[in-house]
Amino acid sequence: MKKNQIKTVKGFNEVLPPESFRWRQVEDKFRNLLEGYGFAELRLALLEPTELFARSIGDETDIVEKEMYTFRDRSERSLTLRPEGTASVVRAFNQYSLGKLSEINKLYYSGPMFRYERPQKGRYRQFHQLGAEVFGEASFYQDAETLVMLAQLFHTLSIEGVNLHLNSLGCAACRPAYRDKLKSFLLERRSSLCGDCQRRIQENPLRALDCKNPACREAVLGAPQINHSLCDDCRAHFSGLCGLLDDVGLEYQVDSQLVRGLDYYTRTTFEFLAGDLGAQNAVAAGGRYDLLVEELGGKPTPAFGFAIGFERLMMLAGDKLAPSTSPFAALVPLGEAALRRLFPLHVSLNRNARVTTLGFQQKSLKSQLKKADKDGVMYALIVGPDELDQGIAICRNMRTKEQTQLSLNNLEEALRELYDEC
């Protein structure tokens, strides 16, 4: 790269062809699957008032304290590039009173998210998520249906070796007593904890369970486990969910350390982990957040959702997908007059579908056929001065190398027939 060229911001992941073809195939599969389950798409703003994330993800999380792209606009408002989608979906749910439209709202979204993390394989500063949220359903059947749907997506994409880890974080009734127990445990080990965890003991002791610092990891070994402190309702919800997953044969592992890096969860939390991904092994994650809609100013509404890391999903699915869609035919003009004659045909065919390419550069037959081969087209239609005189095109099957003649006047029709035969 030359010195004066401008590059993307570090860690901002972009998707180039042919990878973008693969992404679209996966996105289509995701959409089809979710729409089959009754989800509808939301297209959300990328930029939000900073307060939205501070109030939902939590003031004392790594995301809000250290990872957000926050700046003041020209009116001195503090704005943030969204680090995740759930807060925005809840904001939209409240802003547009979506709860009034139907009792249960199932919404999905896709797009870029932004977190100032240290870039490495599978971790970027601009990354992409496919996400979904269900509002208005408190039953553990909803949790189970959503998890089964996600497992179905992995299956559809022939992804294997993804393991579901599950936990329950309790609710407003049972979590305060657990927090107190955890607080006492952490205070006894205060000096072994990192600065962040020491600071967060009083307000948000659960964060210590999620800290990646090796000293903190060791210090929290043997910490009281939330799933031993659940109230009867939370215990019934969790065992109900586990029972349904057993019934449908979706394997899972109960993981009492799974507290997630966002504060809004209540009851079920989960992650799908893939060994093939290395250190950044969570391909999808989410859970239940029954209090968030109300905390952001809406009516009390239970909710459950997930987000898939698109880049990580593609690392698992990528090479099993077709690399690209090729044009069907190459129009190969030899000389200016043939180019002129073929141009209207090219335009007309491509008005309906992207089926032909046409070389404008007056290159040799050999080089045009080489390019057609590289593009993976089925047929090359060759027209030179002699063919123009005779009113024909030579139709070359690029796989078998067989050549036939087609009338120039009926070329469009003939090409459509060949296309339909494929």
> 57-62: which pairs have CB atoms within 8 A and are 24 or more residues apart?
57/83, 57/84, 57/87, 57/262, 57/263, 57/264, 58/204, 58/262, 58/263, 58/264, 60/200, 60/203, 60/204, 60/207, 60/263, 61/204, 61/207, 61/261, 61/262, 61/263, 62/196, 62/207, 62/261
> Which residues from 263-282 bind ligand HAM, rule CB under 6 A?
282
Q: How many CB atoms sit inside 10 A of residue 359's CB?
A: 17
Residue pair 313/156 in contact (Cβ under 8 Å)? The answer is: no
Give the residue with the Cβ less far from ligand HAM, 262 or 418.
Answer: 262
Site map (CB under 6 A) of ligand HAM, residues 353-382, x = contact: ------------------------------
CB of 220 to ligand HAM, least distance (A): 19
Of positions 127, 135, 178, 238, contacts ligand HAM by CB under 6 A:
127
CB of 268 to ligand HAM, least distance (A): 10
Give the residue with the Cβ less far from ligand HAM, 94 or 129.
Answer: 129
Per-residue burial over 44-77, b = 16 or more CB atoms within 10 Å of its CB, e = otherwise: beeebebebbbbbbbebbbbbeebbbeeeeeeee
CB of 2 to ligand HAM, least distance (A): 29
Is 169 among the residues that bind ligand HAM (CB under 6 A)? Answer: no
Of positions 287, 298, 327, 333, contacts ligand HAM by CB under 6 A:
287
Of positions 86, 142, 266, 301, contacts ligand HAM by CB under 6 A:
86
Give the residue with the Cβ less far from ligand HAM, 149 or 337.
Answer: 149
How far is it, in rounded angstroms, from Cα 247 to Cα 235? 18
CB of 175 to ligand HAM, least distance (A): 17
Is 346 among the residues that bind ligand HAM (CB under 6 A)? Answer: no
Is 329 among the residues that bind ligand HAM (CB under 6 A)? Answer: no
Give the residue with the Cβ less far from ligand HAM, 153 or 382.
Answer: 153
Is 108 among the residues that bind ligand HAM (CB under 6 A)? Answer: no
> Which residues from 301-320 bind ligand HAM, rule CB under 6 A?
305-307, 309, 311-312
Of positions 42, 44, 80, 85, contacts ligand HAM by CB under 6 A:
85
Angle at 325 between CA 322 and CA 328, to 5 degrees: 135
CB of 108 to ligand HAM, least distance (A): 10
| Close Cβ partners of 221 (under 8 Å, ≥ 6 residues apart) | none
In the chain, the amino acid numbered 207 is R
Q: Which stretch binds ligand HAM (CB under 6 A): 140-148, 153-161, 285-293, 314-322?
A: 285-293
- DSSP output for 95-134: HTTGGGT-SSEEEEEEEEEE-----BTTB-SEEEEEEEEE
Residue 197's Cα: distance from chain center in Å? 31
- Which residues here bind ligand HAM, judged by CB under 6 A? 84-86, 115, 117, 122-124, 127, 129, 131, 133, 261-262, 282-287, 305-307, 309, 311-312
